[in-house]
Amino acid sequence: MNAVQEDIRSGLADIVNEIAGVPHEDVLPHKTFADDLDVDSLSMVEVVVAAEERFGVTIPDEAAGRMKTVSDAIDYILAQH
Amino acid sequence: MQPIDRKVVVTGVGATTPLGGDSTTTWQGLMAGRSAVRLLTHDWAADTPVKIGAQIAVEPADCLSRTEARKLDRSAQFALIAAREAWADAGFTAPAGEDTSVNPDRLGVVVASAIGGVTSLLQQYDILRDQGVRKVSPHTIPMMLPNTQGANVGLALNARAGVHSPVSACASGAESVGYAIDMIRTGRADIVVAGGTEAAIHPLNMAGFGNMMAMSKRNDDPAAASRPYDSARDGFVIGEGAGVVVLESAEHARRRGARVYAEAVGQGLSSDSHHITQPEPTGRGIAAALTALLDSSDLTAAEVVHVNAHATSTPRGDVAEVKALRKVLGDAMDHVAVSATKSMTGHLLGGAGGVETVATVLALHHRLAPPTINLDDLDPEVEADIVRGVPRALPDGPIAAVNNSFGFGGHNVVLAFRTV
């Protein structure tokens, strides 16, 4: 991961920690939101809205639906920058 | 075939109230005759004519994880805290199934409120108006539905025999306990966690109740504002919190060697069909509920020694209730110690029936009737033996107690418990 990717990962980790209570250091790129991080479908909507605000991007529902892992989210956010 | 013993007993109690964060501290507050009514700390109280209430003693954020709390309406937070206490008090160490002494298929939950997830509904409406659609929480609907408290307690305890939230305004908590008794009686469940909760201290409710002239405006003396049966009473004082009990078939409790607080003898239900908010002045509907209780159970008027009255401190309601009690209990009413615990807790609306069920059960268990405070000048129309100022010892031997709850809409629910 380069520095930009790490910044996004760290920002997502803050969000997931706030919403799902998962320790910051456990929010790693290969982790899946639903199974590994216990973010259910309703909470995932919260994660997406918080990520939009934090990173200044727009994440349509279809794109959000394809974000299975933290890495998917990092890649999508990076591509919007 | 042996007849099945469908007797229902209470094996656990839990509460979080303006007097304390659990049933023990709540009971201690009641015994001490302590008022929990204060000036409200909310900023908006500067603009509402009624500025007093009984806020929860221990904020739920101190008892729940942040991630758990953020998906729950405040009323469901209270319910979950009270339910977990009752569950542990009944001797269970984990949700049903995980604790192998409880079969999830035989566990029910009946927990309700008067106004549902009203705080969440209004908060999210503010967000919709001020910040737009995208910012509305995806948890809004399950947080505001009127079944939100029962549903979340059921989920937390892994209840699969049925989860219900019967809504009947300020009788909701008592109706829940009554429904739970029936679930066990009819064989639908062996254990039912039941009670009531409310979190409705919000400016909209304060404005609405205030404008209907239902609330005390004794802002200059909050601790004296809730004064059931006193000649100078001028309305109820809002409170918040929850009370929950674990009901269990006597057979199931016996099998697992559970500690039993009391028997849940039965319930009586009726409706006034008189006015949407005003009590029927003669107490006709309340008397019908009390009569239904006596007719449908083995309870006799003679064994009733204590009533935890609905008594909200409104001019009309307090009198109608006492008239009904005297009409149905007759001469037996002379040896009934009547307590109005709302004088200390305020009126917890849908939570009242739950908290007062806990108080009634503990009164039998400890053989002590809680006091009614602020009763300086007894209304001459109140022909009852009110427990004034300090607790009163209840007699030895088998005794029973009645817990009354009534709600806007004319709902009358009376519950009876007896020592075992």
DSSP symbols for B239-265: B-EEEEEEEEEHHHHHHTT----EEEE
For residue B325, what are its two tokens? 């009690």
> What is the reported pLDDT for B1?
46
Half-sphere exposure of B321 (CA within 13 A, CB side): 31
> At B268, phi and psi to the nearest 5?
-135, 135
> What is the reported pLDDT for A81?
77
B269-287 pLDDT, tens digit per residue, is: 999 999 999 999 999 999 9
A43-70 pLDDT, tens digit per residue, is: 999 999 999 999 999 999 999 999 999 9
- Taking residue B356's Cβ as centre, other Cβ atoms within 10 Å add up to 31
Give dist(CA B405, CA B384) in Å, integer. 18
* 8 Å CB contact of B70 and A42: no
Give dist(CA B54, CA B240) in Å, integer. 7
DSSP state of B225: T
**A20 lies within 8 A of chain B by CB:** yes
- Contact partners, residue B386, CB within 8 Å, separation at least 6: B229, B338, B339, B340, B372, B375, B378
> What is the reported pLDDT for A5?
94
Q: Which of B67, B135, B136, B141 to mutate to test the interface with A (most CBs of A within 10 A)?
A: B67
- Burial zone of B130 (CB within 10 Å; 0-12 exposed, 13-18 middle, 19+ buried): exposed
* 8 Å CB contact of A19 and B65: no
> What is the reported pLDDT for B4?
56
> What is the reported pLDDT for A1?
83
Nearest CA in chain B to A41: B138
- Nearest CB among A20, A21, A46 relative to B137 is that of A46
Cα angle A65, A68, A73 (rounded to 5 degrees) comes to 85
Query: Would you say how long chain B is, in residues?
Result: 420
ipTM for this model:
0.88
* 8 Å CB contact of A49 and B135: yes
Distance from CA of B339 to the nearest CA of A (A): 44
Give dist(CA B2, CA A17) in Å, integer. 56
Task: Name residues of chain B where pLDDT drops below 70.
Answer: 1-5
Does A80 score more than 50 pLDDT?
Answer: yes
- Going by DSSP bridges, is the β-strand pair B411-418/B191-198 parallel, antiparallel, or unpaired? unpaired
* 8 Å CB contact of A46 and B135: no
One-letter amino acid of B96? A
> What is the reported pLDDT for B5?
57
User: From start to end of B250-315, where are the E strands?
Assistant: 262-271, 304-308
Give dist(CA A36, CA A69) in Å, integer. 9
- Cβ neighbours of B134 in A, within 8 Å: 49, 52
Q: Which residues of A are catalytic?
A: 40
- Going by DSSP bridges, is the β-strand pair B107-112/B337-339 parallel, antiparallel, or unpaired? unpaired
